[in-house]
């Protein structure tokens, strides 16, 4: 039985609090949030303590800390938790600055084996099955990986301004999944699209097509959009000589209405917390099981760094218009072409 | 190479004419229709002769006759063709009167092996695969067969008046398919529905649910409707201990439109000649191959009789409100409970 | 905030305990089960009291009781809870004996408005949408309702012996759904199938096709099987003049594997607690919201009685081989034809 | 009524011969093929003349010529036919050499309005619907067009050697479809994949990902493979702010087999002549209707040239590793970046 502290009582904090409370192997010890009342409101129905003081998250009875604070605080909270001897589950991204991630990894050192990065989509039952079967060779070596990933609606410009851009904020999930299936890439190229001219001010895009190549010649293609009228469009397809594996979108219900106008299914699930509800539960499961067993949970800080490196390279390519070579995308800074 | 005569230049005659003309093993010799000009218009583009005189269908150079005349003439035309030594492909039903079918079978005698009844749906590639695999044991012995069969729109009342009713006119296809999968039945029960009150005058229905039981306890359920807003709704499912086999509706195209309203596929194909175009071609293939090989094409006059017997029993059940027992549904008249 | 007692720490009790514990408007007060240790093991992780003594369920701080005890105890527990002033959510069926249900209804009297019967499937998001839209007239008046409902595997014979038979134990869910869509029926007819000869001893079946007719001529067809190789097969289709509404099976994941053998989707979800997990949560939601608002939750004891009446009639029909007329299926005992 | 000459009695010639013979507005006048006996075997069942002499294709009674000869002869046969005053339907590609296509266009001059290039896929009912609805604005301006196009199996190396490479031989269809939806492109980039090392000798690939950008910033992504275990994988998706339109693969039949192993659909149709049978018929329809009406059929020689220009640019990009700019891809030779 692990006792958890939760840092951050926002939208994602609510998901983690309920999952911890409903998990047979976990107890919610404390919720911490600097906003007056926020932690208390979240903690109370689950019988947990609450505090506005971050140090409450590192109390003696706490075994593990979920870092759900705003991105700029992630590294500080990871380091404080690790230094207090706690296991850590940190929301993605680790940080928007690769140098700061490198610093974090260096400081954490061997304790990195008790730090997990919350790339939740890997734990979606369908995505997880696709990754597992692809790596198991069901389609032969994967030659073409196609990821379509579209959000229901663009975030406000105020969010965009500090998001790190479409590649670091949104595509980073897909870059992580591409790595989960194909491993490391040697080359990245991205085309950006701008439907909303207001994005020009931030040098950001609301659409993108990214291609990545491995040393073996496998190609991943990622198609992103910040908006999608039908909902949250999330599909993967891994293709090889023996066949292909694909996941489908989840719809609001399975109901189909057949009429003179044809047959109409419901929209794709419209909200990431609904679409990936099972993924968040499975992610927590894996974290708890790993920590209890003394094994290192995956994905870890190195995976967080590698995805950020790819997002940086994609940003550079979309901006400069050239392919970016990645000489070493898992250990050191990538040298660019 | 078989040379065909086609009796009847109506809607179904047009289908047969084009299929014969496009078949590498067939030639369209003559088209016969009593309506002045009808046969000529159909025959001319295919380079075939035409006539308003039925005897032209039995000319010396004719090997096989397709009987596409109105139902009341079927038996006469079968008998004339057989008597002239021709092979025969007759549209369903053989006749609406069981006694007349029995008489036809008796008169035809051993030549029945050269007479095929056009239950076209058996030859639909999907239906044919389902029947073949079901009989091959892919799902184990079939225990539950479910057939949903709905027409796009009800025929005019003038047609209803002489159609023989929903069971003999429409459900007869489904009763034939039920026999093709499960063999003979020992019990039939039907519930009729009447959405259009004008049908009361004819004692007819525009909806029906028919259940049939075999001696082994397998059950077929047939759900019929004379109308269906989405088009021509045609589905089969054969279920057994090892699994199930099902066919799906065919749509106008495979295009799906995804939008804020959900995902919309096109209507089911709306017209039986479109939906079963491939079936009519495969039916002709089987007829030609059988006659050329000297083997007996299937389904034959006995199958036509058996389906009519089931339709009669279903009509009786829907009218009387009781189950109808079938002591012998392939050789003699069924004794009723 | 409602405080719950849970009677019964079995399989279904576990589901209810977790749902109550994770519900923002509910607290799990006590778990009661006569098996030594069972209640304690279930209650402890949720911080609830436990007892082997039934009276603990009716303590002063308890607002509502979930009756998850074995069926023969349902009525006793309902009556005791109601008499203690508690709201009640009772698992289906209320009882296997219609007379006992009538007695229960009579004794409960006006308090029936605070007793809900757990026909969970009505609360499945897809099923609920189908019922709502069908009643809203989306397809016009429903003329043909088709329910396919198959369990993954037959229960042990020891269970069958006391189950009340396939209609009272299994089809009762489908009979309830048929009522939810079409209202009351005037006629029931059922065919039973027996794949396992050992069922003969109990006069029970492992397959059935039931047809029900309303006074308006709408027909419901229910196809049941105790086994299904592909998993838990659960489909509804409501058809009317304007179109149809259908639900689809839920699969283990959405992954499809395409290969030389074709395209293979995963099995249907195999376990009712998985397939209907969302339904159990929504059922609890509705119960809590109704009790808090002082409105009567649905379905109620009368619905429980009506479904049992249909199950009795179906059992009689399958045994006797005749249609059963239902003169009054909501108030008194149905007169049979 | 148009009388056709068919040049080339090969695989595709067989398709055209049957389609012309079965078309109510067309007559097959003559089949020409230099291989002794080939034209005769194809012509005879359709009652057409045959010849090994090309001049027979330009006889006085011939209105239109279908050029189905090997690619190196296309331009010669187009020019001879046009010079004889015939309308022309020529198989794709016009030629593998852009200069020769330019020469052809220059020589044909104003008669180009009676020359159609057989990009058959545009006429597939689903593809045609997608193009029409996309251009009609159903999804708003198309921002992301995704084309997955995989052949069932790689051709023999002897074919590869003279094919012009994967882009000119295979992707050219997809490049044409991308133009049909999005119009002209300003930039092309392609990544090539080589699973079979024997292709290195020819500088060719058996997989490719091509991205194309329009002046407005729309992006087309084309994913190609010479092999696909599941069959002929052919999908398009056009995405815009209002939604998306997608086509699905066609399967051998609609039968699904449900079992303990999940639910298995049949393979994708495995052969282009089967998959695109309806497209070839619709292509001929359009050609006949246009010529009869005196309007210019589409796609024309300029479309053939534009697709080849894109294929050339993709080949160059895949070989050189840089993006290729297209300054003018419809009128003159494209200047490269």
What pLDDT, in 10s, does the model give residues B147-187? 999 999 999 999 999 999 999 999 999 999 999 999 999 99
What the block records as the tokens of D234 is 């052919």
Name the minimum distance, in Å, from the CA of A228 to any CA of chain B: 8
Q: Which of residues 240-259 of B touch C (CB under 8 A)?
A: 241-244
| Contact across the interface for A263 and B265, Cβ inside 8 Å | yes
Position C63 scores a pLDDT of: 98
Structural domain spans, chain D = 2-91, 122-325
User: Do D306 and D329 form a contact (C-beta atoms < 8 A)?
Assistant: yes
User: Pick from D73, D64, D90, D77: which is nearest to D305 by CA?
Assistant: D90
| Contact across the interface for D266 and C264, Cβ inside 8 Å | no
Position B329 scores a pLDDT of: 45
Contacting subunits of C (3+ beta carbon pairs below 8 A): A, B, D
Which residues touch B258 (CB under 8 Å, ≥6 apart)? A229, A230, A268, B264, D243, D244, D245, D246
Task: Give the confidence band of B328 by pLDDT, cuts at 50, 70, 90.
Answer: low
How far apart, in whole angstroms, are the C-alpha atoms of residue C144 and residue B208? 9
Position A327 scores a pLDDT of: 73
Angle, vertex CA D9, rays to CA D8 and CA D13, nearest 5: 80
Domains C2-91 and C122-325 share a fold: no
- The full DSSP string for B110-167 is GGGGGEEEE-GGGGSHHHHHHHHHHHTTTTSSEEEEEEEEE-SSPPPHHHHHTT--HI
Task: Give the confidence band of B46 by pLDDT, cuts at 50, 70, 90.
Answer: confident
How far apart, in whole angstroms, are the C-alpha atoms of residue A157 and residue A155? 6
Is residue C211 pLDDT above 50, yes or no?
yes
The residue ranges of chain A whose pLDDT is under 50 are 329-337
How far apart, in whole angstroms, are the C-alpha atoms of residue D249 and residue A314? 32
Instruction: For residue A248, count CB atoms less than 10 angstroms from its CB and return exposed for 0-12, middle for 13-18, buried for 19 or more.
Output: middle
Q: Which of residues 73-132 of B touch C (CB under 8 A)?
A: none
For residue B189, the chain C residues in CB contact (below 8 A) are: 189
User: Do B22 and D21 form a contact (C-beta atoms < 8 A)?
Assistant: yes
Position C1 scores a pLDDT of: 87
pLDDT digits (tens, 9 = 90+) for B24-33: 789 999 999 9
The residue ranges of chain D whose pLDDT is under 50 are 329-337
pLDDT digits (tens, 9 = 90+) for D42-75: 998 788 999 999 999 999 999 999 999 999 999 9
pLDDT digits (tens, 9 = 90+) for A191-236: 999 999 999 999 999 999 999 999 999 999 999 999 999 999 999 9
Give me the residue from C209, C217, C225 closest to B193, CB to CB.
C217
Position B25 scores a pLDDT of: 87
Position C332 scores a pLDDT of: 33
How far apart, in whole angstroms, are the C-alpha atoms of residue A124 and residue A277? 8
How far apart, in whole angstroms, are the C-alpha atoms of residue A1 and residue A292? 8
Position A328 scores a pLDDT of: 55
What the block records as the tokens of D151 is 């052949």
Give me the residue from C259, C260, C266 closest to D262, CB to CB.
C266
| Contact across the interface for D261 and C259, Cβ inside 8 Å | no
| Contact across the interface for D229 and C266, Cβ inside 8 Å | no
Position D44 scores a pLDDT of: 86
Percent helix, percent strand, percent coil in chain D, to nearest 5: 40, 25, 35
How far apart, in whole angstroms, are the C-alpha atoms of residue A46 and residue A78? 24
- Testing the interface with D: which of A241, A249, A270, A325 to mutate, by most D Cβ within 10 A? A241
Residue of A nearest to C138 (CA): A257
User: Do A325 and A187 form a contact (C-beta atoms < 8 A)?
Assistant: yes
Is residue C73 pLDDT above 90, yes or no?
yes
Average pLDDT, chain C: 94
| Contact across the interface for A126 and C248, Cβ inside 8 Å | no
Distances (CA, A) of A57 to A14, A63, A69, A113, C128: 16, 10, 12, 20, 42
How far apart, in whole angstroms, are the C-alpha atoms of residue B149 and residue C193? 24
Residue of C nearest to D233 (CA): C258
Residue of A nearest to D268 (CA): A243
B122-325 to CATH, choices 3.30.70.20, 3.20.20.140, 3.40.50.300, 3.30.360.10? 3.30.360.10
Cis peptide before B93, with omega less than 30 degrees from 0? yes
Name the β-bridge partners of D3. Answer: D27
What the block records as the tokens of C9 is 């720490």
| Contact across the interface for B146 and C225, Cβ inside 8 Å | no
Name the minimum distance, in Å, from the CA of C250 to any CA of chain B: 16
| Contact across the interface for B146 and C144, Cβ inside 8 Å | no
User: Pick from C81, C121, C128, C152: which is nearest to C276 by CA?
Assistant: C121
- Testing the interface with A: which of C138, C256, C274 to mutate, by most A Cβ within 10 A? C256
Question: Is the Cβ of B136 closer than 8 Å to some Cβ of chain D?
Answer: no
User: Do B297 and B116 form a contact (C-beta atoms < 8 A)?
Assistant: yes
Position B21 scores a pLDDT of: 85
Name the minimum distance, in Å, from the CA of B191 to any CA of chain C: 8
Residue of A nearest to D212 (CA): A191
For residue A130, the chain C residues in CB contact (below 8 A) are: 255
Is residue B292 pLDDT above 50, yes or no?
yes
Place of tokens 């499809």: C256
**pLDDT over 90 for what percent of chain B?**
91
| Contact across the interface for D144 and A193, Cβ inside 8 Å | yes
Which residues touch A78 (CB under 8 Å, ≥6 apart)? A67, A88, A90, A94, A104, A108, A115
Name the β-bridge partners of B146. Answer: B221, B237
pLDDT digits (tens, 9 = 90+) for B214-225: 999 999 999 999
Which H helix or E strand runs over B15? helix B11-22
| Contact across the interface for A267 and B264, Cβ inside 8 Å | no
Cα torsion D257, D130, A170, A199 to 10°: value is -170
Question: Is the Cβ of A262 closer than 8 Å to some Cβ of chain B?
Answer: yes
**CATH architecture entry for B2-91:** 3-Layer(aba) Sandwich (3.40)
Position D185 scores a pLDDT of: 97
Which H helix or E strand runs over B31? strand B26-32
Average pLDDT, chain B: 94
How far apart, in whole angstroms, are the C-alpha atoms of residue C276 and residue C270? 11
What the block records as the tokens of C73 is 């105890």
How far apart, in whole angstroms, are the C-alpha atoms of residue D44 and residue D24? 19
3-state SS record for B265-282: ECCECCCHHHHCHHHHHH
DSSP letter, residue A215: T
Which residues touch D285 (CB under 8 Å, ≥6 apart)? D23
User: Do A50 and A31 form a contact (C-beta atoms < 8 A)?
Assistant: yes
Name the β-bridge partners of C236. Answer: C147
Question: Is the Cβ of D135 closer than 8 Å to some Cβ of chain C?
Answer: no
Average pLDDT, chain D: 94
Name the β-bridge partners of D213. Answer: D187, D219
ipTM for the predicted complex: 0.94
Name the minimum distance, in Å, from the CA of B98 to any CA of chain D: 34
Is residue B333 pLDDT above 70, yes or no?
no
């Amino acid at each position: 039985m692990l006792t958890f502290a939760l840092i951050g009582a926002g939208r994602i904090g609510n998901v983690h609090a309920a999952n911890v409370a409903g998990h047979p192997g976990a107890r919610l010890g404390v919720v911490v949030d600097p906003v007056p009342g926020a932690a208390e409101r979240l903690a109370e129905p689950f019988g947990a303590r609450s505090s506005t003081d971050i140090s409450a998250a590192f109390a003696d009875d706490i075994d593990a800390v979920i870092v759900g604070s705003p991105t700029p605080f992630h590294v500080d909270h990871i380091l404080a938790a690790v230094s207090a001897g706690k296991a850590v589950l940190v929301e993605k991204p680790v940080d928007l600055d690769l140098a700061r991630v490198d610093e974090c990894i260096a400081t954490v050192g061997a304790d990195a084996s008790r730090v997990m990065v919350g790339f939740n989509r890997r734990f979606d039952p369908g995505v997880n099955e696709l990754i597992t079967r692809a790596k198991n060779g069901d389609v032969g070596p994967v030659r073409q990986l196609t990821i379509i990933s579209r959000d229901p609606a663009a975030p406000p410009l105020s969010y965009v301004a500090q998001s790190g851009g479409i590649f670091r904020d949104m595509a980073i999930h897909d870059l992580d999944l591409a790595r989960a299936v194909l491993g490391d890439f040697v080359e990245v190229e991205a085309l950006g699209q701008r439907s909303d001219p207001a994005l020009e001010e931030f040098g950001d895009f609301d659409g993108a097509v990214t291609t990545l190549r491995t040393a073996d010649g496998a190609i991943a293609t990622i198609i992103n959009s910040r908006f999608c009228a039908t909902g949250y469009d999330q599909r993967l397809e891994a293709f090889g000589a023996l066949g292909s594996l694909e996941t489908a979108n989840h719809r609001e219900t399975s109901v189909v209405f057949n009429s003179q106008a044809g047959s109409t299914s419901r929209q794709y699930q419209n909200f990431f917390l609904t679409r990936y509800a099972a993924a968040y539960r499975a992610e927590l499961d894996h974290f708890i099981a790993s920590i209890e067993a003394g094994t290192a949970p995956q994905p870890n800080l190195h995976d967080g760094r590698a995805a950020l490196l790819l997002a940086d390279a994609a940003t550079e390519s979309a901006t400069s218009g050239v392919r970016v070579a990645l000489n070493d995308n898992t250990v050191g800074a990538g040298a660019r072409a």
